[in-house]
Amino acid sequence: MFPRCNSFRGGIPWVGGGSAVCLKAMAAILLVVASSRLLAEGPAGLELARSLANDQLRGGAVDEMATRGEAGVALLLSWARRPPGGVDKAGLYIGLSDAFGRMRAKDAIPFLSANISIQRGVFERADIWMKSPPVIEGAMPAAAALIRIGPEASRFLVHKFQTLSPEDRLAAIFVISRIKGVPEARELLDSVIGQANLETFWAKWGLGELAGDGVLEIPQGK
pLDDT per residue as tens, the chain (222 positions): 444 455 434 443 434 445 555 555 554 444 444 444 444 456 678 899 999 999 999 999 999 999 999 999 999 999 999 999 889 999 999 999 999 999 999 999 999 999 999 998 765 566 888 899 999 999 999 999 999 999 999 999 999 999 999 999 999 999 999 999 999 999 999 999 999 999 999 898 888 888 876 555 666 554
Closest CA to 109 of 68, 165, 69, 155: 155
Closest CA to 45 of 26, 61, 21, 67: 61
- In angstroms, the Cα distances linking 149 to 52, 55, 104, 177 are 20, 23, 5, 14
